[in-house]
């Protein structure tokens, strides 16, 4: 079903590098909540296209693959596939969903891949453009056993980690990538086995925003280049490097957006006079500010420390605050917000865990029962990391597209929760 919305959230010709929560029209979000209930994810596909356009402009010479893990809803994937980007996938499930959505180029980054995933991806590669990135010598053996002879990247552990939280700094975590001193040996093994080794891959982490961390991008590229040179010493010429994703977006009002042109220049400078085919694989950057989570206030409880505002979305809908202490902007959608006094609040969900808070110590117009609140930057790693813990059905997802809204994912029901269980 499609519904007209009064006005699509502002899509300006200028394509600003950031869209703040305040830029979303409250009346439209209230209408959508009235029609579809809460909690509700709203994803603006026009904004996703804008984010893609800025990336393509800054990295016009690079192969850009969308990291599907940021948001794998079919309608989002279709929108991104239509812009001509490729897909970076972390599992066979993501590969299948990306191909179904129409991506014609897939990069599968196999992290400790289950055999079932390798079987599926190798099977699909017979008919599709799929390259596989391996981060362990064992994965080469397991691919050879399956008769794989396609395009391959070797993921290196760059020893350079960056990102918004220690749990997302993969570049220094030995779980990810081949250690530097083993890279040349793994590349020669892959070549001897007859794989079409295209190049090296590295990823520093996720949510890299500030200026210091641009240095992390430079250091990562410099390390990859060093390893490409080392491999060249063994007479294998690599013609591509993929420097991963991790491009951050501002979650706080005080943060500035990443300057993509500066980032692209830093990467090119670090590549030096070599001219390998450059690949990048951003996820968050495409979808984060294209999404909000709309939630309704159920309880308001004044306490000596704070006003506890109980809403109907929690860590099962948006895990990031509980998992990473991530900051998401939060805003009242009531029409008389300006007339209310401001109070200090802690916004909590309905889950039986003290980690279940969406925001702590936030000033909000005094919330009342049934008010609607919006949580910003919910388009990346939001619905994707939702769970049914506490037997809570997952929220619905609405797409805004060219002035219309449609359901991208229906609200899960309590009956859905038991659909995998055997008959008793
Ligand atoms: C290998 C790889 N590529 C790309 C990404 C996308 O990261 P982001 O969404 O921060 O751009 C990730 C996630 O951190 C990743 O692990
Ligand atoms: N899930 C993380 C990003 C991790 C990306 C995967 N390597 C987040 O919400 O910030």
Show the 3-state SS of 167-181. Answer: HHCHHHCCCCCEEHH
pLDDT at 70 over 90: yes
Query: pLDDT band at 12, cuts 50/70/90?
Result: very low
Average pLDDT over residues 44-62: 97
pLDDT at 298 over 90: yes
230 is annotated as contributing to ligand binding: no
| Pocket flag, ligand 1, residue 246 (CB < 6 Å) | yes
Average pLDDT over residues 184-193: 96
Higher pLDDT pick, 210 / 15: 15
Residues 254, 286, 90, CA angle at the centre, nearest 5°?
120
> All domains of the chain, ordered by start, with CATH?
2-43+288-417 (2.40.37.10), 105-282 (3.20.20.10)
246 is annotated as contributing to ligand binding: yes
| Pocket flag, ligand 1, residue 206 (CB < 6 Å) | yes
Q: In this structure, which ligand is nearest to the CA of 133?
A: 1
360 is annotated as contributing to ligand binding: no
Average pLDDT over residues 272-277: 87
Name which residue sits closest to atom 8 of ligand 2, judged by CA. 381
CA of 326 from ligand 1 middle (Å) equals: 17
Average pLDDT over residues 388-396: 98
Tokens of 413: 């029901």
Cα–Cα distance between 310 and 301 in angstroms, integer?
8
**Atom number, ligand 1, closest to the C-alpha of residue 163:** 10
Question: Is residue 352 flagged as an active site residue?
Answer: yes
Among 352, 391, 421, 422, the one annotated catalytic: 352
CA of 155 from ligand 2 middle (Å) equals: 18
Strand duo 106-110 + 86-89: pairing? parallel
What pLDDT is attached to residue 342?
Answer: 98
Condensed to tens digits (0 to 9), the pLDDT of residues 337-379 reads 999 999 999 999 999 999 999 999 999 999 999 999 999 999 9
| Pocket flag, ligand 1, residue 209 (CB < 6 Å) | no
């Amino acid at each position: 079903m499609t519904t007209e919305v009064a006005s699509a959230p502002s899509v300006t010709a200028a394509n600003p590098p950031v869209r703040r929560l305040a830029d979303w029209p409250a009346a439209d979000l209230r209408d959508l909540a009235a029609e579809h209930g809460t909690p509700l994810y709203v994803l603006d596909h026009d904004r996703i296209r804008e984010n893609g356009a800025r990336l393509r402009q800054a990295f016009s010479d690079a192969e850009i693959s969308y990291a599907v893990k940021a948001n794998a809803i079919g309608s989002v994937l279709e929108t991104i596939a239509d812009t001509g980007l490729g897909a970076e996938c972390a599992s066979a499930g993501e590969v299948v969903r990306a191909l179904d959505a129409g991506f014609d180029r897939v990069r599968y980054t196999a992290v400790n891949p289950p055999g079932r995933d390798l079987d599926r991806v190798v099977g699909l590669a017979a008919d599709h453009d799929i390259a596989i990135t391996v981060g362990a010598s064992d994965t080469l053996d397991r691919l050879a056993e399956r008769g794989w002879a396609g395009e391959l990247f070797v993921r290196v552990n760059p020893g350079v980690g960056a990102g918004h939280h220690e749990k997302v700094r993969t570049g220094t975590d030995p779980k990810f990538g081949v250690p530097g001193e083993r890279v040349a040996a793994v590349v020669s093994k892959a070549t001897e086995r007859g794989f079409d080794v295209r190049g090296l891959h590295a990823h520093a982490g996720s949510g890299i925003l500030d200026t210091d961390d641009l240095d992390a991008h430079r250091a990562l590229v410099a390390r990859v280049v060093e390893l490409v040179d080392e491999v060249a010493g063994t007479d294998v010429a690599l013609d591509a490097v993929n420097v991963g994703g991790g491009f951050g977006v501002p979650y706080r009002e005080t943060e500035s957006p990443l300057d993509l042109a500066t980032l692209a220049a830093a990467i090119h400078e670090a590549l030096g006079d070599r001219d390998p085919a450059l690949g990048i694989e951003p996820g968050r950057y495409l979808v984060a500010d294209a999404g909000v989570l709309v939630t309704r206030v159920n309880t308001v409880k004044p306490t000596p420390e704070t006003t506890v505002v109980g809403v109907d979305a929690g860590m099962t809908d948006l895990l990031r605050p509980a998992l990473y202490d991530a900051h998401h902007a939060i805003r009242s959608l009531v029409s008389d917000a300006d007339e209310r006094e401001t109070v200090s609040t802690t916004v909590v969900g309905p889950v039986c865990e003290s980690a279940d808070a969406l925001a702590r110590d936030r000033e909000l117009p005094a919330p009342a029962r049934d008010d609607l609140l919006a949580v910003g930057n919910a388009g990346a790693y939001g619905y994707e990391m939702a769970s049914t813990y506490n037997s809570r059905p997952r929220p619905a997802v609405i797409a805004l597209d060219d002035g219309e809204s449609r359901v991208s994912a229906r609200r899960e029901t309590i009956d859905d929760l038991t659909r995998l269980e055997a008959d008793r």
